[in-house]
Amino acid sequence: MNSSQPNAYDLFEILVRENSRMLMAYIRCAIRDSASADDIWQETMLVAWRRINEFDRSRPFGPWLRGIAARVILGFGRKQSYTVQVDESTLEFLDSRFENLQSLRGDTLDEKLQALRDCVASLPEHYRTCIEMRFMKGVKPSELSKQIDLTLESVKKRLVRAKAMLVACIDKKMMTE
């Protein structure tokens, strides 16, 4: 992994936030008891955290997470001396339904990063320079203002405007491609 790419642990929090509600919905389809569903969700997250380096970044995170949850759900009944109301084929069926819900463009991290790269490249030069220096090179706004000979307030405004342009561009790319 090169230094311009965030490491897997840095990405974990973002990916979990994006998939948390979907994962809980998946678990609740199989486990009716909310306390047990919470326990399974937490166990799934712990397993995913421990195994994050095994995650293939070219594939969507949601199915990988649901696969872990399915194994936790199936193991849950054995640990609790309790009959889980679903079997493996039911979990596979649920996974396929969730897969259809999540098959939107931009589901993989690589797609999102590529959209960001494309959008940064399309920014007008004065905005692109600020974004690249601030977020790719880690230059603080106060230092950036000195380097490009602008006031600190002007640099902050330029960064805010550039980020707004990036959000709009990425949203448009994710909807149209």
Give me the residue spans of the domains in the chain: 8-101, 109-176
CB 73 within 8 A of CB 84: yes
The rounded Cα 87 to chain-centroid distance in angstroms is 29
Class of the CATH domain delimited by 109-176: mainly alpha
Q: Which of these, 84, 78, 72, lies nearest to 39 by C-alpha position? A: 72
The encoded tokens of residue 149 equal 């000979």
Fold for the domain defined by 8-101: Rna Polymerase Sigma Factor; Chain: A (1.10.1740)
Q: Please write the tens of the pLDDT for every residue from 20-56.
A: 888 888 888 888 788 889 999 999 999 999 998 888 8
Exposure b/e, 32-66, CB count within 10 A at least 16 = b = eeeebbebbbebbbeebeeebeebeeeebbbbbbb
Which of the four pLDDT bands, split at 50, 70 and 90, describes residue 3?
A: very low
Q: At residue 102, does pLDDT exceed 70? A: no
Q: Please write the tens of the pLDDT for every residue from 43-98.
A: 999 999 999 888 887 788 888 998 999 899 888 876 665 555 566 677 677 766 66
pTM: 0.52
> Are both 8-101 and 109-176 of the same fold?
no
